[in-house]
Structure 1
Amino acid sequence: MALEITEYLLAAQSPDAGVRTHAMTLFSQLVDLNPPAILLSLSVELSNDAKSTESRKIAGVLLKNLLDFKWAAIDVSTKSRIKSSVLHTLGSCISEANTPVYLKEATLDTIVRLCLEIFEPNSSLLTPYVSDLLNGLILMAERTAGVNCYELRFSTYETLNMVVRCCNLSETSRIIAELLPAFVSKLEQTLFLRVVSFDDRVILEELRACLFGVLQVVIQKLSAAIETRPVVGQVADRIVLVFLNLFGSGSCTADQEAMLTIGALVYAMGLGFEKYMQGLIKCIETGLQNIDEYEVCAITVGVVGDICRALDDKFLPYCDVIMIHLIRDISNAGLHRSIIPLVFSCFGDIALAIGEHFDKYVTCALPIMESASRVCAEVDNITDKEMVGYCNQLKRSIFEAYSGILQGFKKSSKMDRVMLPYAPHLVWFIESVAKDNQRDKGVTKASVEVLGDLADALGSNVEMLLKDCKFCTELIGECLQSDDEDLKRAATWTKGMIGRPFSVRV
């Protein structure tokens, strides 16, 4: 049952600090005593047009925040009533042009949180509302103009993205498919907007970032099913053309969203993306060179990996120029540290894609990987959690690079000549990581897998490398005894690879 909480909400916004504190204390006690009733009361307050804007606004904010912590404790019937209230509020909020901006923002933020907490991906619960919600959100976004409305415009598009992510694709595919050409057209229209002031430029770049963000989400949604994936190909030419016209000419945020859209397009088109590479390679170079705006650089490195996985050996013509930029980036002392693991992982992606042709890059890439692995091994007993996480990420990426390179050379006659000189260092690095009590599951799994890749690739040559390596037995044994199924599978496979050329007790 819903409670009358308007007076608490209004008191919580009182100019008197004492009144505010007292109101929030009482409200917190109500939340602890009866979470379902409070969440329902907040949703009813939010949806009640007769209530004051102030109480409805804070009801939306509190509902959004409480969903994170209290949703699991609510019964099914109450959940259903909360969903209906919020969806009703969103519909009226969108349709009424005179709804206060702050109330719209509170409502939009709430449905984003609602989608995250309540609606599973491909939920049918949203299906009856999807068409009206999306059309209303698009209309609301078009009505927001000016620098002061940026937060509302951003919230509107973010809400639209969440609705797309959570809706059932099989039930709404036609509606979602219609968004793709519509938002490509909106981006194309921005090419002709007049810019006369700094504020105009800010508004334009924010708009482009939002539009690319929607495109990215829609492409990802349509790519999730074989039946809807061809829809993306129908507008791919236009997406690439508008990207070529906009990338590198605007804000960092717009460039990030634009490059992420290309990444989504790569996944959707697979090998069909090859036809765009000649046109896009200069933009990819621009992104890789942009180490000052490191987020753009990082995303571009990730997209290069996506392209490698999509094109395989068709990526070969572009490898020289890409590897030059990657080597330059990772050799630059000014490179943001977050990009280093991405570059190592990208080495592995490239090697997997082009196979033995990676031999021309080994003498450049492997010494850098060895140098980074030595630094990792020398860092001991870190107390800073962020640094521990980063070191684990770096170790994992180095192992991923080695795995990609070893797998790429696996069937090549060049394997022994090219990779055998670097194998002892890899064994040393695996051993040093095996002794690290701060390694996480991802590092452990990657270290075991690269050990298996080494045995698989080098065959009988691995016997001398792993002779008397007690750490090998202990590391595999640790994973086999783990409760984690991923670690068990990795260890079982590696044990089999090692056992082929010679027998080892594990």
Structure 2
Amino acid sequence: MDVTQILLSAQSADTQTRTQAERVLKEAEERNPGLYLTTLVDHLAGDDNDPESRRLAGLIIKNAVYSRDPAAKHRLYERWVRSIDENAKTHIRTTLLRALSARAPEPRRAAAQVIAKVASMDVARGAWDSLIADLLLSASSREDHVKQASLEALGYTCEEAGIGDRLDEVLSLKSNQILTAVVQGMAYPGGPTSTDQSAGLVRLAATNALNNTLEFARAQFEISTERAAIVTTICEAAKSGDAQVRQASFEGLVKVAENYYEKLSEYIRDIYTLTENAIRNDAEPVAMQAIEFWSTVAEEEVSIMYDNETADPSRPPVRKNEQFVKHALPYLSVPIFDSLKKQEDDPLEDSSWNIATAAGACIELLAQAAPDTVLGLVKPFIQSNIRDQANWRSREAAILVFGSVLEGPPEAEIRNLVREAIIVLIETLVHDPNVAVKDTTAWTLARVVLVDRTTTLTHLPALVECLKRSLMAAENPELAAHICYAIHNVAERFCEEHEEETGPLTEHVQPLFTCLMQTADRDDAGDSNLRISAYETINALFRSVTRDALPFIASCLPMLRDKLEAALNAVPRALSEVEQMETIEKVGLICGALTTATHRLTMAQVVPYADQMMRDYLNVFQVPGSEASLEDAFLAVGALAHVLGKEFNRYMSHFMPYLQQALGNLQAHQMVGVSVGVAGEICRGLGKDLVPYANPIVALLLEALKSPTLNRAVKPGIMGCFGDIAMSVKGHFETYLKSVMDCMRQAAESSVQLEVEADDYDTIDWVLALRESILESYTGIVSGLKDDKKQEILLPYLEWILGFCEVIVNEGPHSLVPTSEGMVRDIMGLMGDIADAVPQFQAEAKRKTWLQSVVDRGMNSADERTSEIATLAYYAIFDRP
């Protein structure tokens, strides 16, 4: 069987033919990956080969060198670097470049994409540094199809670059030559052999390439003439006769706004004219990109406003807000409002992103960027359209605008607007004949109820009646989901009052719960996330009601437990995979509702149902299926442990095998994180009754902590769990002290030695979480050992604990990893606890001037909690003889 036949057979509709071809390809790849790739790339570049098989060859090559999955991507990279010899790699690179001149378009496109993937591996490690020069030379070809493919390859390669990697550096150094080639391509008039179509494809490829190149053009944007040339070229392309080129050029303007906002002032008038015309008159894809430009400008200005508000007031503003939105809004609002009325004929059936939804999202951002201007423009539009009975599009647009401007403008003005409109919205949701209008009204009401408690409370009976009635009447599941969202936010509005004896939700909780349960049981509840929305709303109700409604929540436990048992029994009877997954999802949602209910109740209220609930949770663990439902069942067990305390011990022997399995399954990091949290709940509940189970739990936690493959997000929780264990088992923790403290020390040192980039917010948050959990765990260990008078065994570890705290304090609130007042408070509390537990520590602590300074500042803090902890630390450390 030749290569063409194998490739075509791998796409055959006949299962046997396809499976056999896939097996041949897999065996060839595993036997000799270098030969496998060179054979495929030769086929891709062969102009006499079948075009479809060449396209498939390109796709297979790309999948052989790249994967979206990080672990698979790393394996493919290692294989490319270590298992494929240099001669094969050189042949592959050379042949890919040759494939850019293929006569058929599919192989050219495939070659351009594969070149970028190989570049992400090779250029990033210092190999194939000639690539950009090769592509630039190819882009100067006299043949349009070669120009086009070379420009596409340049664009894809730029798209692959990561911040700070070698490819990024190479592209930055070559940015001038790349931009020259791309700008020339955008203005390409055609050559002697060009057709209108071939020249247009060159211009489109160049325009798309520019969008991926702009991030590397910082040096050029600092030079007025070069900046002007780039922006002018983009603006000229925005007037092209080709709609695809116009769309791509507006995408380029979006990139300019994202990366060079401060340079826009020279061109903003011309850009405004282009965008306004496009929004009013151009094809929808082009108009949507023009709207996206203003959304991006608004996002930048909102970000600047936030940065300047939170910056040190004694310093100049971090960035200047040019207020482009404020100046453009009086003129821009009209075409944006008109776009809102261009909804699909049935928006709920066709909920894809379109010009109306893009305009709605834009209005929301414009309101935040120009908060003092927007209401004066939207009020007349709302007033003239909201009661337009002849045109549902006008009504829906008016309500969408109203819901979109609730965040940003002055709160007093928004509250007045809400007071005026809430009755109209309630009436519209009940009586409007158009489902799209109802849907937008439900979404808007969900936002309105959060604006002003007084207004929501005043209209609560009418609001609840309206939402119940509308939910029961809603035939469309998307509309029903938005009504659930509105009920959810009604509950959230009063959540802060849940510890009060009585509250406004009490009389409404039973009818709302009944209504939501009926909604969750609808035959179409699997559509539009309706079932999920209904259960999330039930959870919001359970969290928000006051104490006088807790008996009702307790009465819901047997009903929810019955539903859980019915769902578990239905799983093996499911007639299809979809039905089975829906049933398993229902299992998880019911567990979630039981978790929320359990957390609100007392032991006495839960105990009558605890045996049955625990039995059902154990049954969930035996159902193969979604990891999410297992997580929900684990959380439900954690809630039960939290409420039952020592009484939970009766279930531990049954639950322990599942807990060990979850803690040890390091490939499922989310499950590990959930099980760590549940272990903490059990520790806090059982106290010393945990001792018989502590050995395997600690061993698994230490194994997880040391694992190089476990997602790092789980590790702060593991650190905190050690403190929970120590607080439970008291002096028995001596058994684990050295192993745990060695791991803690390693983690503490990593948290202060790790180099963090200023814009790597995920890592910054992780380091802060790690430090907080280490401090929390130290506190638990000190307290637990002290309770059994074994605190003296801490002496070998106190010096480096003190040093760790000193490093954190000295970094201060303005470092890349800022030390918050809360963390300083934790340090003071820990130091005080150690001094109180280990008198030998006092003399060393007294000599630390940094600690004296921290405690002095804490005692003078305006925060009552900080002052209290600092005072206790002072008496424990500095005020003893």
Band of TM-score, shorter chain: 0.7 to 0.9
Within a 5 Å distance, the mapping from 1:43-442 to structure 2 comes to 43-68=425-450, 70-71=451-452, 76=454, 78-80=455-457, 82-96=459-473, 99-118=475-494, 120-121=497-498, 124-145=503-524, 147=526, 149=527, 151-170=529-548, 172-193=549-570, 194-223=573-602, 229-247=603-621, 249-379=624-754, 383=758, 384-412=760-788, 414-416=790-792, 418-437=793-812, 438-442=818-822
- Equivalent residue number for residue 3 of structure 1: none
- Post-superposition Cα deviations, 1:90-111, rounded to whole Å, max 9, x if no partner, equal 2213433x63322211211111
Q: Is the Cα–Cα contact under 8 Å of residues 209 and 253 in structure 1 kept in the other structure?
A: yes
Change (3 A) 1:150 1:429: same
1:11 aligns with 2:341: yes
Change (3 A) 1:385 1:481: farther
Give, in whole Å, the separation in 1 of the partners of 2:634 and 2:822.
27
Q: Check 1:479–1:49 CA distance in 2 against 1; reply closer, same or farther (3 A cut).
A: same
Q: CA deviation at 1:405?
A: 1.2
Aligned mates of 1:173, 1:377 — CA distance in 2: 46
d(CA) in 2 for partners of 1:11, 1:18: 7
Does the CA contact (< 8 Å) of 2:339 and 2:359 recur in 1? no
Distance in 1, matches of 2:633 and 2:686, equals: 20
Write the distance in 2 (CA, Å) between the matches of 1:412 and 1:141: 51
Offset of 1:11 from its aligned partner? 3.0
User: Residue 819 of structure 2: SS of its match in structure 1?
Assistant: coil
1:479 corresponds, among 858, 867, 873, to: 858
Higher-RCO chain (CA-CA 8 Å, sequence separation at least 6): 1
Residue 481 (structure 1) shift: 2.1
Assess, with a 3 A threshold, how the Cα gap between structure 1 residues 188 and 9 changes in structure 2: closer, same or farther. Answer: farther
Contact 1:42 1:60 in 2 (8 A): no
**CA distance in 1: counterparts of 2:769 and 2:422, whole angstroms:** 42
Seen in structure 2, the aligned counterparts of structure 1 residues 233 and 81 have a Cα distance that, compared at 3 Å, is same
Deviates more, 1:490-499 or 1:362-371: 490-499
Give how far 1:208 is off: 0.6
Q: Matches of 1:48 and 1:94 in 2, distance apart?
A: 10
Partner AA of 1:238 in structure 2: Q
**SS of 1:435 mapped into structure 2:** helix
State how far apart, in whole Å, the 2-side matches of 1:150 and 1:238 are.
Answer: 32
For the aligned residues, what is the CA RMSD? 2.7
Amino acid at match of 1:58: T
Q: 1:91 to 1:381 in 2, by over 3 A?
A: closer
Q: Distance in 1 between matches of 2:620 and 2:804?
A: 44
Q: For residues 268 and 463 of structure 1, do their structure 2 counterparts lie closer, same or farther at Cα, with a shift above 3 Å needed?
A: closer
Structure 1 residues 45 and 279, CA gap change in structure 2 (3 angstroms): same
Deviations 1:314-342, CA, capped at 9 Å, x for gaps: 11110001011000000101111121111
Percent sequence identity is 23
Give the direction of change, closer, same or farther, for the CA distance of 1:380–1:490 in structure 2 (3 Å limit): farther
SS of equivalent to 2:575: coil
CA distance in 1, matches of 2:568, 2:713: 33
Q: Indicate the larger mover: 242-251 or 393-402.
A: 242-251
Instruction: Classify the secondary structure of the residue corresponding to 1:185.
Output: helix
Give the C-alpha shift of residue 495 in structure 1. Answer: 1.1
- 1:145 Cα offset (Å): 4.5
Residue-by-residue CA offset, 1:447-500 (whole Å, 9 max, x unaligned): 1111112111211x1144325211110111121122211111111111111136
The 5 Å alignment of 1:482-501 reads: 482-499=861-878, 501=880
Between the aligned partners of 1:264 and 1:126, the Cα distance in structure 2 is 24
- State the secondary structure of the residue aligned to 1:192: helix
* Alpha-carbon distance in structure 2 between the residues aligned to 1:413 and 1:220: 34
Q: How many residue pairs end up in the alignment?
A: 481
Larger displacement relative to structure 2 (308-317 or 476-485): 476-485
Which of 829, 833, 836 aligns to 1:456? It is 836
**2:776 aligned partner, one-letter code:** E
Distance in 2 (CA, whole Å) between partners of 1:436 and 1:260 is 37
Q: Is contact 1:14-1:20 (8 Å) kept?
A: no
Per-residue CA shift, 1:165-221, capped at 9, x if unaligned?
222332x34432221011111111223211332112210111011100111111122
Q: Distance in 1 between matches of 2:513 and 2:525?
A: 22
CA-CA distance at 1:128 after TM superposition: 2.4
Report the TM-score, using the length of structure 1 for normalisation.
0.88
Unmatched runs of 5 consecutive residues or more in structure 2:
1-336, 346-353, 364-377, 383-400, 813-817
CA distance in 1, matches of 2:797, 2:719: 16
1:257 CA displacement: 1.1
Residues 458/434 of structure 1: CA separation in 2 closer, same or farther (3 Å cut): same
For residues 298 and 195 of structure 1, the distance between their equivalents in structure 2, rounded to whole angstroms, comes to 30
Secondary structure of 1:124 counterpart: coil
Q: Could you tell me how far apart the structure 1 residues matched to 2:479 and 2:650 are?
A: 47
CA displacement, residues 331-357 of structure 1 (integer Å, 9 cap, x when unaligned) = 101111121111111111111111111
Q: Is the 8 A contact 2:520 2:534 kept in 1?
A: yes
Contact kept in structure 2, 1:9 and 1:58, CA below 8 Å? no
Question: Hey, what does 1:4 align to over in structure 2?
Answer: none
Question: Partners in 2 of 1:18 and 1:210 — Cα distance?
Answer: 34
Q: In the superposition, relative to structure 1, how do residues 90 and 467 fare at CA in structure 2: closer, same or farther (>3 Å)?
A: closer
Shift of 1:118: 4.4
Shift of 1:284: 0.9
Larger-gyration structure (1/2): 2
Residues 139-166 of structure 1 show CA distances to partners (whole Å, capped at 9, x for unaligned) of 222223474x261111111122222222
Distance 1:269 1:176 in 2: 17
Change over 3 Å in CA distance of 1:135–1:21 after alignment to 2: closer
Task: Give the whole-Å Cα distance in 2 for the aligned partners of 1:408 and 1:131.
Answer: 44
